[in-house]
Structure 1
Amino acid sequence: MTVEFKLPDLGEGIHEGEIVEVYVKPGDRVAEGDPLLEVETDKAVTAIPSPFTGAVAEVRVAAGDTVHVGDVMVVFDGGVPDREAAPTGPAPETVSRHVVEAPVEDHPASSPVSTESGRRPPVPASPATRRLARELGVDLYTVDPTGPQGLVTADDVRRHAESGPASPAAAPTTVASTEMAPPVVSPDLPDFSQWGPVAIEPLRSVRKATARQMALAWSQIPHVSNQGEADVTALEALRQRHAAQVKEDGGRLTLTVFAAKAAVAALKRFPRFNASLDMAGEQIIYKQYFHVGVAVDSPRGLIVPVLRDVDRKSIRELAVDFQGLVARAREGKTSLEELQGGTFTITNAGAVGGGHFAPIINFPQAAILGMGRAALKPVVRPDAEGDPEIVPRLMMPLVLSFDHRIADGAEAIRLMQTMVATLEDPEEMVLNF
């Protein structure tokens, strides 16, 4: 008897991946948990372990192939799971780790009830499933759920999309008016080869994910930017004094680490910038944890791993965590978990000489901070007697992009002022944050 092993649903709206490496060949014997192959998705490089113990009868993929969820990758001859679990379930460890729990309502999505205000409550579904529904233009209220207690799954959405358009009566005006529209489809391009030679590169993995995420963010979020400048002269002196010691501990003490701390100090005072807007549920979700995504320039493209619990860790601990995240991102070893759960993002263009720039918000977050290169500038400031004098100071440009649906300009200015004040007083930051 042969058993087919298909690409499992890795969660977070991942529908396909590219085979990076195949570790087995026909005739090999494997035990449950042995690595079968490595798949690069638009989120991370993921090792897929064998869910069976048995002999490999056939390998249907090779390095460089693109596979979709449900595609057969390996066929086993007499393969059986060591555990008493059905082979059709998400057996690999990577799947069980990457499942995103969703809130569960007391009523099924297929028969929504109305509240006293006349609006229907949100359909129980994970953020990844909601994002997939938006991409496919599916109204979650029209989907028949198969999950526990009426939970709509990603497979439910795909099945519904493949079955044809939903009935217009299924989505009343009161709901449709608050639903976020899917990103605008790009128009057809002309044949550029008619004017000269061209080269074609497939849009894959990280670049594909970046293109989709940026288009989604730009189409859904009304961006507003607020610029500032921080005098980091004292902060840079502190950083240089302790950089070598932190390096011995396995860390990397950069201005980004200090900026993460300063950002969290400000986010605690202005929680709207640590929130997400749920248009379907007509509510703002305030996150009472502080996980800061840090953009990393890697060979695969821009990766945004997440520094966890920034408010609970010391500068030294964050420097060690930051170094590990950067190293894994550049080696292509970032795990899916390390890319999830960010509440705010920092992108530092200073390392490559960038100045002021307005970054695009990492949807569904509400704000992102762009850092430019710190440079010496002449600054007018009072001397000991209170008279103005011109002195050289190390000034760092900052730009905050935020979601104007959630927050207003005055709040953004105050948040920027709080971050600047914290960066300009490093001793206060180290002692109190």
Structure 2
Amino acid sequence: MAELKVPDLGDNVTSAVVVGVLIKEGDTVSEGQPVLELETDKAVMEAPALASGTVSKLLVKPGDEVKSGQVIAVLKEAQPSPGEAEPPAKASAPPPPAPPRPVGPPSPAPVPAGRRLIPAAPSVRRLAREMGVDLRAVVGSGPAYRISEGDVRRFAAQGQSPLPAPLVSKLPDFAQFGPVRREAMSGVRRATVRSMAQAWSLVPMVTHFDKADITQMEAWRKRLAPRAEQRGAKLTMTAILLKALAAALKAFPKFNASIDTERNEIIYKDYIHIGVAVDTPAGLLVPVIRDVDKKGIFTLAAELGSVAAKARERKLAPEEMQGASFTLSNLGGIGGTGFTPIVNWPEVAILGVSRSAIEPVWNPEKEAFEPRQIMPFSLSYDHRLIDGADAARFCRFVAELLEEPVLLGFEG
């Protein structure tokens, strides 16, 4: 007999929800064959079999929450046919299986409630056992409240977690007022709930509002759009904003940093990876465009179109949504005159863009109003590191790049 286990789900992914079971009892499976569809916080993946044999007992069903290494089925190992020689023993361990690969969105499945997963690595769990710390009482300081060894040591020394536990208020019985429906949160929505609550509790945020006159830039964009299409790209304002932000982050490195409160240090990043918020049917996903400062606008436009399509199809790999040092959220295609985006901790700033509109602008030389295309945008920032004057200068720098397209060639 052998056991079929959940493969490694990747760094910083502690669990997944089973949204599809691709095998049944009695089936014969081979190593590498997809056996489960799993939904993590940010992606849906096919999990391959790590062993071969016949399924004698299936231990999971849609809606179950599983972890890396968890047994999902018991296998009866395949027997050789009559007259067939037993295969020789392998001299070395087989190569590791291919990692789970993304697939399109499956039908939604119910998720069991009332269970709390403890986000901690095996080494952290071992340390907690050695120190006699109950991890259920520890609130982690990492992303999605992930518990680190430092959190365990602080809890053991002080008897408390570094962060206050999130408040959970008991809801009234809404059914007494009329009919209600309940729907299980998707993995993406649950991740959003955790990350937004964490960011709100950790970061004292301020939002600075500004406008840019993009009349010339929009004319350039329309004129160069056919050339971009020849390269398989759609030239959007988002791609241009990425390049402008890369120049601004180089000029204002504080905005490309993170705060290490444990060591009382500021971590300046020498890379510029920008997360771009993408609206999808499953919720908000943020793929990361890497090394934005080293790429031309046409290249950025092509890459942006590719990752946005993958996000909407739920085909992004977990690593494609990690490592951002700044985030851009452009709602201009939907509408609105302004909003206050929430900083994606441990980043320290995020830029939000709203829909541009034609506005009358006074021209002192002509002593008359002229119609100009004005784009409103807002910068939310961590006030622990960034002062209001810094934010105003950063926004003016971005606006000037957008108002004078030729500057982008020099600064970018």
TM range (shorter): 0.7 to 0.9
What are the within-5 Å matches in structure 2 for residues 238-387 of structure 1?
238-382=220-364, 386-387=365-366
Any idea what the Cα deviations from partners look like across 1:162-205, whole Å, max 9, x if unmatched?
Answer: xxxx54xx149xxx8xx851452222112122222211112231
In structure 2, the partner of 1:73 is 72
> Is the 8 Å Cα contact of residues 5 and 76 (structure 1) preserved in structure 2?
no
Question: Is the 1:19–1:62 contact (alpha carbons within 8 Å) kept by the matching residues of 2?
Answer: yes
Match of 1:414 in 2: 393
Task: Identify the residue that residue 151 of structure 2 maps to in structure 1.
Answer: 140
**Deviations for 1:258-308, whole angstroms, at most 9, x for unmatched residues?**
111111111111111111111122211111100100000001100000111
Q: 2:205 aligns with which of 223, 226, 246?
A: 223
Say if 1:132 and 1:345 are closer, same or farther in 2 by CA, change over 3 A: closer
Q: What letter is aligned with 2:320?
A: E
The two structures have a TM-score, normalised by structure 2, of: 0.81
TM-score if structure 1 supplies the norm length?
Answer: 0.77
Query: In 1, are the aligned partners of 2:57 and 2:74 still within 8 Å (CA)?
Result: yes
SS of 1:370's partner is strand
CA contact (8 A) 1:46 1:94 kept: no
State how far apart, in whole Å, the 2-side matches of 1:83 and 1:370 are: 57
1:380–1:85 distance in 2 versus 1, CA, 3 Å? farther
1:24 Cα deviation after fit: 3.0
1:393 to 2:372 alignment: yes
Shift of the 69–311 alpha-carbon distance from structure 1 to 2, 3 Å rule, reads same
Moved more, 318-327 or 234-243: 234-243
Count, aligned residues: 369
Instruction: Give the counterpart of 2:219 among 237, 258, 275.
Output: 237
Corresponding residue SS for 1:405: coil
Conservation of the 8 A alpha-carbon contact between 1:229 and 1:396: yes
Kindly state the Cα deviation for residue 32 of structure 1 after the two structures are TM-superposed.
Answer: 2.9
User: Do the aligned residues in 1 keep the contact of 2:361 with 2:371 (CA within 8 Å)?
Assistant: yes
Distance change (3 Å), C-alpha of 1:183 and 1:420: farther
Any idea what the Cα deviations from partners look like across 1:23-47, whole Å, max 9, x if unmatched?
A: 3333444443332222111121222
Sequence identity (%): 41
Specify the alignment match of 2:3 in structure 1.
Answer: 3
> Structure 2, unaligned stretches of length 5 or more?
79-86, 102-120, 122-126, 129-139
- Tell me the secondary structure at the aligned position of residue 31 of structure 2: coil
Where in structure 2 are the equivalents of 1:53-132 lying within 5 Å? 53-78=52-77, 84-85=92-93, 91-94=96-99, 131=142
Distance in structure 1 (CA, Å) of the matches to 2:310 and 2:7: 24
In 1, the alpha carbon distance for the partners of 2:300 and 2:56 equals 47
> How much has 1:375 moved relative to structure 2?
0.7
- Tell me by how many angstroms 1:95 deviates: 7.7
For residues 82 and 306 of structure 1, what CA distance do their matches in structure 2 show?
41
Would you say the 8 A contact 1:380–1:389 is kept in 2? yes
Does residue 405 of the first structure (1) align with residue 384 of the second (2)? yes
- Judging changes above 3 Å, is the alpha-carbon distance between structure 1 residues 74 and 246 closer, same or farther for their aligned structure 2 residues? farther
Q: Is the 8 A contact 2:248 2:398 kept in 1?
A: yes
Distance 1:311 1:186 in 2: 43
Whole-angstrom CA distance in 1 between matches of 2:402 and 2:227: 21
Deviation at 1:229, TM superposition (A): 0.3
Matched-pair contact (CA < 8 Å) for 2:35–2:48: yes
TM superposition shift of 1:431: 5.4
* Residue number among 181, 186, 195 corresponding to 1:199 in the alignment: 181
Name the counterpart of 1:50: 49
Q: Is the 8 A contact 1:183 1:215 kept in 2?
A: no
Contact 1:141/1:171 (<8 A) preserved: no
Q: Distance in 1 between matches of 2:215 and 2:200?
A: 35
Q: SS state of the match for residue 5, structure 2?
A: strand
Partners of 1:64 and 1:83 lie apart in 2 by 40
SS in structure 1 at match of 2:374? strand
Q: In structure 1, how many angstroms separate the alpha carbons of the residues matched to 2:150 and 2:7?
A: 27
Structure 1 contact 29–54 (Cα < 8 Å) conserved: yes
Distance 2:144 2:41 in 1: 18
> How far off is 1:84 after superposition?
4.0
Change in Cα spacing, 1:259 to 1:38, as seen in structure 2 (3 Å) is same
Which amino acid is the alignment partner of residue 73 of structure 1? I
Other-structure match for 2:17: 18
Task: Rate the CA distance shift 1:303–1:53 in 2: closer, same or farther, 3 A.
Answer: same
Given residue 99 of structure 2, which amino acid in structure 1 is its aligned partner? T
| Matched residue, 1:105 | none
Contact 1:183 1:216 in 2 (8 A): no
Q: Secondary structure at the match of 1:285?
A: strand
Determine the C-alpha separation between the residues in 1 that align with 2:228 and 2:144.
45
Q: Cα RMSD (Å) of the superposition?
A: 3.1
AA matched with 1:232: I
Secondary structure of residue in 2 paired with 1:289: coil
Give 2:17's aligned amino acid. E
